[in-house]
Amino acid sequence: MLDFKTTAARLAVEVLRDTGAERRIREDGYTRVDPLWIAATQGVMVMQRPFEKLLGAFVRESTPGIMVNSERPRGLIHLTCAHELGHYFLGHESTADEHIQYDKDSALQEREADWFAYCLLTSRATLAQTLRRKGWSINALRDPLNLYQLSLRIGVSYAAMAWSLARLKLWDRSDADRMTRIEPAEIKRSILGRGDFEARTDIWLLDERDRELVLEPSVRDQVLFRLPNHASSGYLWSLDEAQSEGFKIRPLDAPAHPAATELPNAFNAEADHLLAGHVERSKFAGRILPLSFTERRPWEARRDNEAHFRTSVGFEEAGQGLSAGSRRRLLQEGTSAA
Amino acid sequence: MTGPTKTVRQELAERLRGAREYLGLSQDEVAVTLQLPRPSITLMESGGRKIEATELDRLARLYRVSIDYLLSGREPEDTKPKQFAFLARAVKGLSESDVQEVARFAEFLKMSPK
CA dihedral B30, B32, B35, B38 (to 10 degrees): 70
When CB atoms are compared, the residue of B29, B95, B112 closest to A53 is B95
Residue A294 and residue A225 share a domain:
yes
pLDDT of A319 reads: 87
Nearest Cα neighbor of A57 from B91, B20, B78 is B91
d(CA B45, CA B22): 14
Q: Confirm whether A213 is domain-assigned.
A: no
pLDDT tens figures, A262-279: 556 676 655 678 887 777
Q: Confirm whether A330 is domain-assigned.
A: no
Helices within A122-270 (DSSP H only): 124-134, 144-154, 158-167, 173-179, 184-192, 240-244
Q: Confirm whether A203 is domain-assigned.
A: no
d(CA A215, CA A288): 9
Last residue of a domain, one of A121, A144, A163: A121
d(CA A290, CA A106): 45
Residue A108 and residue A135 share a domain:
no
Residue A71 and residue A55 share a domain:
yes
Q: Confirm whether A328 is domain-assigned.
A: no
Residue A46 and residue A16 share a domain:
yes
Q: Confirm whether A324 is domain-assigned.
A: no
Chain A residues with beta carbon closer than 8 angstroms to that of B33: 331, 334-335, 338
Residue A132 and residue A37 share a domain:
no
Chain A residues with beta carbon closer than 8 angstroms to that of B62: 330-331, 334, 337-338
d(CA B2, CA B49): 17
Residue A230 and residue A134 share a domain:
no
pLDDT tens figures, A93-129: 999 998 888 888 888 999 999 999 999 999 999 999 9
* Exposure of A51 in the CB half-sphere (CA atoms within 13 A): 27
Residue A152 and residue A133 share a domain:
yes
pLDDT of A270 reads: 59
CATH number at residue A224: 2.60.40
pLDDT of A105 reads: 83
Per-residue pLDDT of chain A (338 residues; tens, 9 = 90+): 468 999 999 999 999 999 999 999 999 999 999 999 999 999 999 999 999 999 999 999 999 999 999 999 999 999 999 999 999 999 999 999 988 888 888 889 999 999 999 999 999 999 999 999 999 999 999 999 999 999 999 999 999 999 999 999 999 999 999 999 999 999 999 998 888 888 889 999 999 899 999 999 998 888 998 888 888 888 888 888 888 888 888 877 765 554 544 556 676 655 678 887 777 766 677 788 888 888 888 888 777 778 888 999 998 888 899 999 999 999 999 887 65
For residue A163, what are the domain limits?
125-189
pTM score? 0.91
Number of folded domains that form chain A: 3
Residue A89 and residue A22 share a domain:
yes
Residue A231 and residue A150 share a domain:
no
Residue A244 and residue A184 share a domain:
no
- Nearest-CA residue of chain B relative to A338? B34
Last residue of a domain, one of A189, A208, A234: A189
Task: Tell me, yes or no, if A59 comes closer than 8 A to chain B by beta carbon.
Answer: yes
Task: Please indicate whether, in this complex, the C-beta atoms of B112 and A62 are within 8 angstroms of each other.
Answer: yes
CATH number at residue A30: 1.10.10.2910
Q: Confirm whether A202 is domain-assigned.
A: no
Residue A111 and residue A8 share a domain:
yes
DSSP state string for A129-154:
HHHHHHT--TGGGGSHHHHHHHHHHH
